Chain A
Amino acid sequence: DQQVKQNSPSLSVQEGRISILNCDYTNSMFDYFLWYKKYPAEGPTFLISISSIKDKNEDGRFTVFLNKSAKHLSLHIVPSQPGDSAVYFCAASRVLRQLTFGSGTQLTVLP
């Protein structure tokens, strides 16, 4: 049972445009959500998080939106830069327990 799903394995965006990465979850007990960026053969790099008491969190070019009723979160990157090209994982947890990861979305930002 895949509790966290990223249905788009890949996404290509032109430099300067907005990148929108989507994530769905099924476990209503999750109360903390995170996005990570990962390069091959490296550990994930934390990008941004959101608690279930919020519906939006913004940090520079990155904004995460949470729709609890739809059990959906999204990561917006604007403007997208070539250096943003990587695999992005969404993850969910509750009360500092282990993270459950989505399958990842490969973002390619075209110059």
Chain B
Amino acid sequence: GAVVSQHPSWVICKSGTSVKIECRSLDFQATTMFWYRQFPKQSLMLMATSNEGSKATYEQGVEKDKFLINHASLTLSTLTVTSAHPEDSSFYICSAPKQGRENGYTFGSGTRLTVV
């Protein structure tokens, strides 16, 4: 249980366009979703935390106007990379806390974004 489905798995887009990444909790309600970004051979870095029905909280250095996060329902959180540039090319992963303290966190399968 506690599965997060993330789409798309990979996407190639042109500079200046926008890309939307979706994360859906399939069998539980995700009131909180964490969005991470990973550069090659580096750690997963938290970008922002989304909470259902309220504004997302962004980490320092993350442009909120560029990385739009929406958490309109308890089962869907989206990250939209607006006006994408090649330096936005990265691996994006969402994660949600599972039900109960000891059950940890579940991750989406990730989205490989390449901006050309």
Same assembly: yes
Q: Which residues of A pack against B, CB within 8 Å?
A: 32, 34, 36, 41-46, 49, 51, 89, 93, 96, 98-104
Q: DSSP class of B's interface residues: helix, strand, loop or mixed?
A: strand
A49 touches B49 (CB 8 A): no
Which of B's residues lie within 8 Å of A, judged by CB?
Answer: 6, 10, 32, 34, 36, 42-46, 49, 91, 93, 95, 97, 101-102, 104-110, 112
Looking at the assembled complex, report how far the CB atom of A2 sits from the nearest CB atom of chain B, in whole angstroms: 9
For A42, the chain B residues whose CB sits under 8 A away are: 109-110
A44 adjacent to B93 (CB under 8 Å) = yes
The answer to whether B104 touches A104 (Cβ under 8 A) is no
Beta-carbon contact of B42 and A98 below 8 Å: no
Chain A-chain B contacts (Cβ-Cβ < 8 Å), number: 52
Contacts of B46 in A (CB 8 A): 98-100
- A43 to chain B minimum Cβ distance, whole angstroms, is 4
Interchain CB contact under 8 A, A96 and B102 = no
Q: Which residues of B contact A41 (CB under 8 A)?
A: 10, 91, 110, 112
What would 12 more interface pairs be, CB under 8 Å, given A34-B104, A93-B105, A104-B43? A41-B91, A42-B109, A42-B110, A43-B110, A44-B44, A46-B104, A46-B105, A51-B102, A96-B32, A98-B46, A101-B45, A103-B43
Which 7 residue pairs across A and B have the least CB separation, nearest first?
A43-B107, A103-B43, A43-B110, A101-B44, A96-B97, A43-B109, A101-B43
A49 contacts which chain B residues (CB < 8 A)? Answer: 102, 104
- Contact among B10, B32, B93, B104 for A43, CB-based, below 8 A: B93
Q: Which residues of B contact A43 (CB under 8 A)?
A: 6, 93, 107-110
**A103/B104 in contact, CB under 8 A:** no
How many whole Å from B9's CB to the nearest CB in chain A?
8
Residues of A within 8 A of B105 (CB): 34, 46, 93, 99
Q: Which residues of B contact A102 (CB under 8 A)?
A: 43
